[in-house]
Amino acid sequence: MPRAGLTQSWIAAEATLPPEWWMMGVVCGPREVDPQIHSESWGAWARGPNGQRAEGRGESPTGALDALANAMRKSGMAFKVE
């Protein structure tokens, strides 16, 4: 995957976050430590100032970031640039 595509997806997802929210990361598979659990899916997540959490899952890092941005838009919490 081209690095520019991942960077662009990260920036686009980050742009949807409300003030005081921050991106936490993008990972492959479940976040559990148990080696018995295996997954090829990707997850991206962000946190809010009061412990809120938003997550997106996809078949690639960019897909997970796009899903996170869509989840923020659907929740009505997405930051709107004017």
Measured CA to CA, the distance from residue 13 to residue 72 in angstroms comes to 9
82 part of a folded domain:
no
* Domain membership flag for residue 70: yes
Q: Look up the domain containing 41 and give its range.
A: 3-75
51: left (phi over 0), alpha (psi -120 to 50) or beta: left
Going residue by residue through the chain (82 aa), what tens digit of pLDDT does each one get? 556 789 999 999 999 999 999 999 998 876 555 666 667 789 999 999 999 999 999 999 999 999 999 999 988 776 654 3
For position 7, which CATH number holds?
Answer: 3.30.160
Distance in angstroms (rounded) separating the CA atoms of residues 57 and 63 = 7
Which amino acid appears at position 55 of this protein? E
Query: For residue 49, is it within any domain?
Result: yes
Starting at the edge strand that comes first in sequence, how are the strands of the sheet with 42-47 ordered?
22-28, 42-47, 53-58
